[in-house]
Amino acid sequence: MIINRLHAREVLDSRGRPTIEVEVFTTDGHYGRASVPSGASTGRHEAVELRDGDKSRYGGLGVRRAVEAVRGPIADAMIGQDVREQSTIDELLCQLDGTQNKGRLGANALLGVSLACAHAAAAVTGIPLWKYLGGERCRMPLPMVNMISGGLHAGGNLDLQDFLFLPIHASTYSEALETTCAVYRSLAGVLKKHGHEGALVGDEGGYGPKLSSSEQAIELLLEAYRSAGIEAAIALDVAATHFYRDGRYYLQEGGGRVVESGWMVERLVRWCNAYPIRSIEDGLAEDDFEGWLELTQRLPKVQLIGDDLFVTNPQRLIMGIDRGLANAVLVKVNQIGTLTETWRVLTLAREANYRAIVSARSGETEDSTLADLAVASGAGQIKIGSVARSERLAKYNQLLRIEEHGLPFAQWVER
Ligand code: PGA
Ligand code: ZN
């Protein structure tokens, strides 16, 4: 069970950008491997992803420095550790880096090691990762699935980043997936009918048509639900941080206008009255606490998720809980950089009665650790992107494998 070798390499993610992959070997001949995801609409408070900055390779996005960190100082510290001691390993990683934001060795280097150790530990123990990490809480998550992409994820002109389908009436995970694919197919027909044939897909596999407004995207999605005969439930990821500057929101839709936080809140309230919206992520920017408080008070029955707001950071989440901001947290392993800290956020959320949604990034690989983590934590929801592109399907398919073990399914419960 003792770590005797660490290896790291540069591989490519779903956008053709370098990312780090780590392998951990133990004295008894077991090993674990993990590769690290990467975001596009990143929050200011996220842990730092170390990139080479050498413009002559991959436009400066190479991760050779992170690879060197694993092969050098991190390997030196890890060799001799018991691979099953995840919290000791993660603490050592944080100490070794020594910074608040993990910018010295890189959160990408640290996370690769942290997750590869978990895989190696599961291998040593001879049980699947979800079972090794989980316990009584294991359950199949409800997926929240990207259908139309805007914002920084697609070439369209929508301010909002994701328009998602929530299969709230499904009673099993595989039924949820089947319904999702029916909506995805139906939406292709609806887009074609409205003259958006050949709309390319965005980074997460959702369609990226050129539409005139977010309302239009919502209407098209509702039409797809109707023609597939599926009862509607919509989730939005506004990703508002990305059009927020100096206390104001800069909207592009409708010729461009600059609005205040109160206007954003009013619009979301209006949309929730007009449309079957059950969940809104990052309806306001990461540091617009006043706006977040107002939104949370105005929409108590809607799931309000903090992504850039909390950045999977225990301190940020505690701050938000204390101030009464949002009622759910998006959980992305690479926003914080170790498994133990991710776990802490999941525990804090549960204790505060905040919902947790385990999430992929827009840049992913075939690594499906996320699926195991979602099941093991019992979080109840998962956000992977759409049902197209193999880096997304790697996770959906892993969940189908896990489902065969007969775990309970986390059905949607109204707030
Ligand atoms: P990102 O976006 O992975 O590009 O940061 C995902 C999200 O905002 O939920
Ligand atoms: Zn988001």
Q: CA-CA distances (angstroms) from residue 272 to 193, 243, 252?
A: 26, 21, 21
Ligand in nearest proximity to the CA of 281: 2
pLDDT at 197: 83
- pLDDT at residue 156 in the model: 63
pTM above 0.85, yes or no: yes
Ligand 2 midpoint to CA 234 (Å): 15
For residue 218, the SS3 value is: helix
Q: Which two tokens stand for residue 364?
A: 């992913």
* Ligand in nearest proximity to the CA of 204: 1
Ligand 1 pocket, residue 13 CB under 6 Å: no
Is 290 known to be catalytic? no
Number of helices (H), then strands (E), belonging to the chain: the values are: 14, 15
Q: 307: Cβ–Cβ under 8 A, 6 or more apart, which residues? A: 43, 237, 239, 281, 282, 330, 332, 359
Q: Is 332 a catalytic residue?
A: yes
User: What pLDDT does residue 405 have?
Assistant: 97
Ligand 2 center–CA 235 separation, angstroms: 11
Taking the CA atoms of residue 200, residue 203, residue 208 and residue 210 in that order, the dihedral angle to the nearest 10 degrees is -100
Distance CA 23, CA 34 (A): 7
Residues 6+ away with beta carbon under 8 Å from 94: 102, 110, 338
Give the closest residue to 121 by CA, choosing from 331, 340, 375, 330: 340
**Tens digits of pLDDT across the chain (415 residues):** 999 999 999 999 999 999 999 999 999 999 999 999 999 989 999 999 999 999 999 999 999 999 999 999 999 999 999 999 999 999 999 999 999 999 999 999 999 999 999 999 999 999 999 999 998 899 999 999 999 998 877 766 899 999 999 999 999 999 999 999 999 999 999 999 999 987 788 999 999 999 989 999 999 999 999 999 999 899 999 999 999 999 999 999 888 899 999 999 999 999 999 999 999 999 999 999 999 999 999 999 999 999 999 999 999 999 999 999 999 999 999 999 999 999 999 999 999 999 999 999 999 999 999 999 999 999 999 999 999 999 999 999 999 999 999 999 999 999 8
Query: 23, 281, 332, 395: which one is catalytic?
Result: 332
Ligand 1 geometric centre to CA of 306 (Å): 12
- Whether ligand 1 lies within 6 angstroms of the CB of 307 is answered as yes
Q: Which of 15, 17, 41 to mutate to test the pocket of ligand 1 (most atoms within 8 A of CB)?
A: 41
- Kindly list the strands in the beta sheet with 248-251, ordered across the sheet, starting from the edge strand earlier in the chain: 244-245, 248-251, 257-259
Q: Is the CB of 239 under 6 A from ligand 1?
A: yes
Distance between CA 204 and CA 206 in Å, rounded?
Answer: 6
Contact between 310 and 287 (Cβ < 8 Å): no
Ligand with minimal distance to 282 CA: 2
DSSP annotation string for 177-211: HHHHHHHHHHHHHHHHHTT-TTPPB-TTS-B----
Q: Find the 386 Cα to ligand 2 centroid distance in Å.
A: 14
- In short, whether 32's Cβ falls inside 6 Å of ligand 1 is no
Q: Check if 305 has its Cβ closer than 6 Å to any atom of ligand 1.
A: no
Quick one: three-class SS letters along 268-311?
Answer: HHHHHHHCCEEEEECCCCCCCHHHHHHHHHHCCCCEEEECCCCC
Look at residues 248, 200, 241 and name the one whose alpha carbon lies nearest to residue 39: 241
What domains can you pick out in the chain, each with its CATH number?
A: 3-126 (3.30.390.10), 135-403 (3.20.20.120)
Q: For residues 407 and 415, give the distance between their C-alpha atoms in angstroms, rounded to a whole number.
A: 23
pLDDT score at 154: 75
Backbone φ/ψ region at 7: left (φ over 0), alpha (ψ -120 to 50), beta:
beta
39 CB near ligand 1 (under 6 Å): yes
Give the pairing of strands 142-143 and 380-383.
Answer: parallel
